[in-house]
Amino acid sequence: MNRLSLTLLILFFGSAVAFGQSVARLDKSANLIPDNETRDEQVLAARTINALKRLDSNVIIYRSLADFEDQGKLARVPFAQFANDLQAVTNEVEPMLSRMPQSRLKTEITNALYSYRDGAFWWEKIDQPRVVHISALTSTENRTSSDSAFLATVPYTVAIHWRQANRYLKRAEELIDGSRK
């Protein structure tokens, strides 16, 4: 009887210890992201948002189609300067984005960057520099009426990309402000 009670006692304590360890492990894993990592994410996000705000200050965000049609400007700077700024911001932001954990904040910031890239892509299609190089004057470039109609819609596409980028940027700022409170 003594051995049976000793065996039951060891089994009981062994179970209790194993249960205690699993509960302790559960408590540690309940907060999957430690506070310092959350703080690091917020710092990285704030830095990326500040970099993207430099691009946002270069473009014009229209409230309505009528406003865009009245003014018709896409940005406050020439395309060449915007392209240089975009490249600099991209080089600054992408390493920080790669260090951020996957989250809604990272998605919003990435979408903002990609919207600026897409806008620049389309803006480049219609950019007409003041200086024309002789090598650019080729007789093989015959535009059809459908090509002309398509190119007429490109400024609207660019304006839409700027507006989307601005929305993503604002959402990212709201997410940071909400997590700071």
Residue 51 has pLDDT above 70, yes or no: yes
What pLDDT is attached to residue 30? 41
One-character DSSP codes across 18-30: HHHHHHHHHHHHH
Flag whether the pTM goes above 0.75: no
Confidence label for 57 from pLDDT (cuts 50, 70 and 90): very high
Which whole number is the average pLDDT over 77-100?
94
SS3 120: helix
DSSP state of 101: P
What pLDDT is attached to residue 20? 54
Residue 13 has pLDDT above 90, yes or no: no
Q: How far is CA 110 from the centre of its chain?
A: 2
Per-residue model confidence as pLDDT tens digits over 120-144: 999 998 887 666 556 655 554 666 7
What pLDDT is attached to residue 42? 85
Q: Residue 16: is it exposed, middle or buried by C-beta count within 10 angstroms (0-12/13-18/19+)?
A: exposed
Which whole number is the average pLDDT over 39-61?
89
CA atoms lying within 13 Å on the CB side of residue 102: 0
Which whole number is the average pLDDT over 26-30?
42
CA 45-48-50 angle, to 5 degrees, is: 110
Which has more confidence, 6 or 51? 51
